[in-house]
Amino acid sequence: MEITADPLVIKIDKVKFEIDLGADKILAAEKAERKIAIEIKSFLSNSTLTDFHAALGQFLNYRLALEMTDPERILYLAVPLDTFDSFFQERFVQESVRNYQLKLIVYEPQQEVIIEWKS
C-alpha cells in the first residue's frame, strides 16, 4: 500500500472533510491498483458503543463525500484487533457492518500492522 494523502482532504462547497489516509492498494491477485481511503479509529473512550456511533456516522458521511467527488475511491474503516475480536463480534454490530456495507481493516496498534482486510 502506498500512502498518497495524509490526510485526504475533500471539499464540497464550504464543507471540508479530512479522512485519515488516502492510499493506493496494490491487489496482487488482479495486479491492479485500487484507490482507497482509510479512516482509522482507536475506540479508546469508556463507551465502545459511543465510539462506534461516532465512527459509523463519520464513515457514512465520508463515503457520501467520496461518492460525490471521487467515486472510484473505496473507503475503509480501520479498527483495532481487540475491538474487532470483542465488540465487532456482537450481533448488532455485525448486522450494522452488513447493513451499511462497511469495509474494515483490522489492525494491531502496538505493532502498527494490518491483520486483515474485510470487504
Say if residues 21 and 35 touch (Cβ distance below 8 Å): no
pLDDT score of 1: 61
**Residue 88 is placed in which grid cell?**
465487532
At CB < 8 A and 24+ separation, what contacts does 89-95 make?
93/52
Mean pLDDT of 64-73: 92
| Tens-place pLDDT, residues 9-61 | 889 999 998 887 665 555 544 446 788 888 999 999 999 999 999 999 999 99
Instruction: Map out the domains of the chain as residue ranges.
Output: 2-110
Q: What's the DSSP call for residue 112? A: T
Mean pLDDT of 67-71: 93
CA 102 – CA 91 distance, rounded (Å): 15
Question: Could you give phi then psi for residue 21, rounded to 5 degrees?
Answer: -140, 145
pLDDT score of 2: 61
List the CATH code of the domain at 2-110: 3.40.1350.10
- Tracing cell 465512527 back to the chain, one arrives at 55
pLDDT score of 24: 58
